[in-house]
Amino acid sequence: MPALWIQNARVIDPANKRNAVGDLFVKNGLIVADLSAADKKKAKVIDGTNLVACPGLVDIHVHFREPGQTHKENIATGSHCAAAGGFTTVVCMPNTSPPASNTGTIQYIKDVIKRDAVVKVLTTGCITVDMKGEALAPIGSLAKAGVVAITDDGDCVQSNELMRRACEYAKMFELPIMDHCQDHSMTVDAVMNEGEVSARLGLKGWPNAAEDLIVSRNAILATYTGAHIHMQHISSRNAVEIIRRAKDRGVSISAEATPHHIALTDKCIEGYDPKFKMNPPLRTAEDQEAIIEGLRDGTIDIIATDHAPHTDYEKDKEFDYAPNGILGLETALPVTLDILLRKNRFSLPKVVDLMTRKPADLLKLAAGTLSVGAAADICLFDPKEKWTYDARAGFSKSSNSPWDGEELQGRIKTTIVDGRVVYDGKNVRKR
């Protein structure tokens, strides 16, 4: 493998407080401080002029649908989306079919990853057996099999007692618990945010309170058990406030926000288009502002996409019957840049931090840094380039994106994993 010499890029590496135009060197798949004169002669040179070079993006919340629903996506195509989106490390949710609640399924997934994935794909296991919310999954065995967290994402453990035991048990293995915060009793048949827009459209509403209650519960259980609970895709302004206050008290919790929750509101649903149907639902402008403030002051730790592919025919339905979820990986960076950098004046290093070092640190992953000696997982992007996203021309098997056909600003030019270019701005290097 030739050495890499990235020249003249704006290198942003929050882990090392680096933010300046310069060069990056890679040898044997690792970041190095410099290359020898001989290596420089042979090195593959990448011109980074006017580009940002940062650690490969890290997404701890993706659905790759394998095993069981590979008509929507599989680990190969999911990893291609990741590469095209600048992501070098992603964490798969366990709500596959069968759900990843035993070590056999985890091993199967890991075998497929080893064979097919072009970026680093990590696995999570379920909290409860088959995600039924009734009995604890073999959490210790899952930890041993290498899962980086446990979650029943897509669902939420409703029993407080069971969640408490999961926390206590997972704590033994220092395994973080990630939770999709939704009180099911308050969201029966709900398909969108409960509020003015749902009142007008006659669609069944999903109130913020259903999220807030579980966020509160989790803060209480994290306090009581000492386990770490990560709140997935926070969408409610009160939830942000609850997390803020719990963190002030030193409770071991963290939270993520998705690009779509900071970019879109429930007004998007006025035409009943299922490409805006997701769970938790798009909420109001006030919720959006609170989440952005949460990202600004660190209450919300990271950005995660909740990349959730569904085929056209599954989404082409009455709004009530369409499945929840949208694609996220290929549009995450430009959408986040648009909202945080351009509309809310976050600094570029801050945005990069939310998508690299911080998510990696949260799950203690060896990623998200350009430190010398670290794996050479690098993303090069042009923050200014405008382009039109065509979901069908993308790398997913699905095309369910609200940004399909929209002009975006900020484009991934090169994605490098372990010193190897896996995406060159046009093509993914297939395995």
Partner 1 sequence: MSWNRRHLLTLEELSLAELDQIHATAASFKKILTRSVKKVPALRGKTIVNLFLEPSTRTRMAFDMAAKRLSADTISLDAKSSSTTKGESLRDTAQNIEALQADMIVVRHSAPGSPLYLSKILGIPVINAGDGAHEHPTQGLLDTFTMRERLGSLKGRRVVILGDILYSRVARSNIQALKTFGADVTLVGPSTLVPKHLEALGVTVSHDLRSALADAEVVMLLRIQHERQNAGMFPSIGEYTSMFGLNQQRAAWLHPNAIIMHPGPINRGVEIDSELADGPRSVILDQVTNGIAVRMAVLYLCAGGQPEYVTPTG
For partner 1, give the closer residue by CB, 266 or 377: 266
Burial class (CB in 10 A: 0-12, 13-18, 19+), 293: middle
Q: Is residue 71 a known part of a binding site? A: no
Note whether 282 and 265 are within 8 A (CB). yes
Cα 109 to its chain centre, rounded Å, is: 19
320 touches partner 1 (CB under 8 A):
yes
Q: Does position 407 bind partner 1 by CB under 8 A?
A: no
Return the number of the residue (201 or 348) whose C-beta is nearest partner 1: 201
Smallest distance from partner 1 to CB 278, Å: 16
Q: Which candidate, 276, 311, 261, 260, places its Cα nearest to that of 203?
A: 276
Q: Which is nearer to partner 1, 161 or 318 (CB)?
A: 318
Please name every residue paired with 47 in a beta bridge, in sequence order, or none if there are none. Answer: 7
Please select the residue that binds partner 1; options are 317, 342, 386, 431, rule is CB under 8 A.
Answer: 317
Query: How many Cα atoms occupy the beta-carbon half-sphere of 102 within 13 Å?
Result: 7
Q: For partner 1, which residue of 316, 384, 392, 427 counts as binding (CB under 8 A)?
A: 316
Q: Pick the stretch among 33-41, 200-208, 225-233, 402-410 that binds partner 1 (CB under 8 A).
A: 200-208
> Which residues have C-beta within 8 Å of that of residue 220, sequence separation ≥ 6?
none
Contacts of 83 (CB under 8 A, 6+ apart): 118, 119, 395, 415, 417, 422, 423, 428, 429
- Binding flag, residue 250, partner 1 (CB under 8 A): no
Shortest Cβ distance from residue 237 to partner 1 (Å)?
A: 15
Site for Zn ion in 141-160 (CB under 5 A): 153
Which residue blocks in 5-62 are alpha helix, DSSP H? 37-42
Q: Residue 199 or residue 366: which is nearer to partner 1 going by CB? A: 199
Interatomic CA distance for residues 367 and 379, integer angstroms: 12
Interface with partner 1 includes 373 (CB under 8 A)?
Answer: no
Residue nearest to Zn ion (CB): 180
Residue 363 tokens read as: 């799950």
Q: Is 310 annotated as a binding residue?
A: yes
Is 306 a known active-site residue? Answer: yes
Task: Choose, by CB under 8 A, the member of 195, 280, 294, 309 that binds partner 1.
Answer: 195
199 binds partner 1 (CB under 8 A): yes
Does 80 carry a binding-site annotation?
Answer: no
Q: Out of 13, 152, 287, 306, pick the active-site residue.
A: 306
- Buried b / exposed e over 7-29, threshold 16 CB at 10 Å, is bebbbbbbbeebbeeebbbbbee
Cα–Cα–Cα angle for 216, 219, 225, nearest 5°?
Answer: 135
Among 120, 171, 180, 230, which residue interacts with Zn ion (rule: CB under 5 A)? Answer: 180
Residue 279 assigned as binding residue: yes
Sheet harboring 150-151: ordered strands across? 150-151, 177-179, 229-231, 253-257, 302-303
How far apart, in whole angstroms, are the C-alpha atoms of residue 155 and residue 180?
6
260 is in an annotated binding site: no
Q: How far are the Cα atoms of 259, 294, 359, 389 from residue 222, in angstroms, in the given order?
A: 26, 20, 19, 41
> Is residue 61 a known part of a binding site?
yes
Q: Point out the annotated binding site for substrate.
A: 63-65, 95, 279, 310
Q: Point out the annotated binding site for Zn(2+).
A: 61, 63, 153, 180, 233, 306
**Contact positions toward partner 1, by CB under 8 A?**
194-197, 199-204, 271-272, 313, 316-321
**Contact positions toward Zn ion, by CB under 5 A?**
153, 180
Q: Which residues are catalytic?
A: 306
Q: Point out the annotated binding site.
A: 61, 63-65, 95, 153, 180, 233, 279, 306, 310
